[in-house]
């Protein structure tokens, strides 16, 4: 068994154990293998080991990989999406994790209408308030939420966040619980279901699962150290 297969199995086992510790079914948490910047051979190896959902953050890189795997593979766009790339990206991704402002949301809705399709999205929230991160502030999202719900071609499936780096994964839990509480508030106020919480990465996904994550985004714990061409 290869290193990627071993590491993928280890991550899946950790996800299952974290879910059980939280009184949840292991299948309530989905793993997106963050394949951005990794070579296609690594992606193919993970797919061969049973992984079916991959996350990319550069449209051009993703479009080079997507045709090389079967149509049943699920591709997620997990980075900041520039508005001039929406039209290219929209047909290829089943979920956009990083819709981080109202203008991008409106542009996606318009382009989806022009192409006769829908955009399934997660709204990115900058729970920590870090200036280096994209995303709605919690207060801004509350203020914009009704107008975002009114966009007919935008299917809002839930929320996403990135916690600040911490030496101990438990330090991220307040940010994850903050996202869950915001989701619960928006559901109640808007009378809608927002089933997905995308939160947790290689260093803190178990803490995210403890706070209700339904999707975790894991790259280096599966594929190893990221190639040094990171954006």
Give tens-digit pLDDT for 27-57.
Answer: 999 999 999 999 999 999 999 999 999 999 9
pLDDT at position 115 over 60:
yes
pLDDT at position 152 over 90:
yes
pLDDT digits 0-9 by tens, 56-70: 999 999 999 999 999
Task: Tell me how far apart the alpha carbons of residues 131 and 165 are, in angstroms, rounded to a whole number.
Answer: 14
Q: What is the mean pLDDT of residues 121-136?
A: 96
Q: Return the sign of the alpha-carbon dihedral for residues 149, 151, 155, 157.
A: negative
What per-residue confidence (pLDDT) applies to 226? 81
What per-residue confidence (pLDDT) applies to 231? 38
pLDDT band at 169 (very low <50, low <70, confident <90, very high): confident
pLDDT at position 111 over 90:
yes
List the domain boundaries for the chain: 3-223
68 CB burial (10 A radius; 0-12, 13-18, 19+): exposed
CB 136 within 8 A of CB 100: yes
CB 77 within 8 A of CB 96: yes
Domain 3-223: give its CATH code.
Answer: 3.20.20.10
> Over the chain, what is the mean pLDDT?
96
Q: What is the mean pLDDT of residues 15-24?
A: 98
């Amino acid at each position: 068994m290869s290193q990627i297969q071993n590491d993928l199995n280890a991550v899946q086992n950790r996800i299952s154990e974290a879910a059980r510790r939280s009184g949840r079914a292991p299948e309530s948490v989905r793993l997106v293998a963050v394949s951005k910047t990794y070579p296609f051979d690594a992606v193919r190896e993970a797919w061969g080991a049973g992984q079916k959902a991959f996350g990319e953050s550069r449209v051009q890189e993703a479009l080079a990989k997507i045709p090389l795997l079967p149509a049943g593979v699920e591709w997620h766009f997990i980075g900041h999406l520039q508005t001039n790339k929406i039209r290219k990206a929209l047909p290829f991704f089943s979920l956009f994790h990083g819709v981080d402002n109202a203008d991008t949301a409106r542009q996606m809705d318009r382009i989806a209408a022009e192409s006769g399709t829908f955009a399934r999205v997660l709204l990115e929230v900058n729970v920590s308030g870090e200036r280096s991160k994209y995303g709605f502030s919690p207060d801004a999202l509350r203020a914009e939420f009704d107008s975002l719900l009114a966009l007919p071609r935008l299917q809002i499936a839930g929320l996403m966040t990135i916690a600040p780096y911490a030496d101990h994964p438990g330090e991220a839990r307040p940010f994850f619980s903050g996202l869950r509480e915001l989701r619960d508030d928006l559901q109640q106020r808007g009378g809608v279901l927002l089933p997905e919480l995308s939160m947790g990465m290689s260093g803190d996904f178990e803490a995210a699962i403890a706070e209700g994550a339904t999707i975790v985004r894991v790259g280096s714990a599966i594929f190893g150290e990221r190639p040094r061409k990171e954006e």
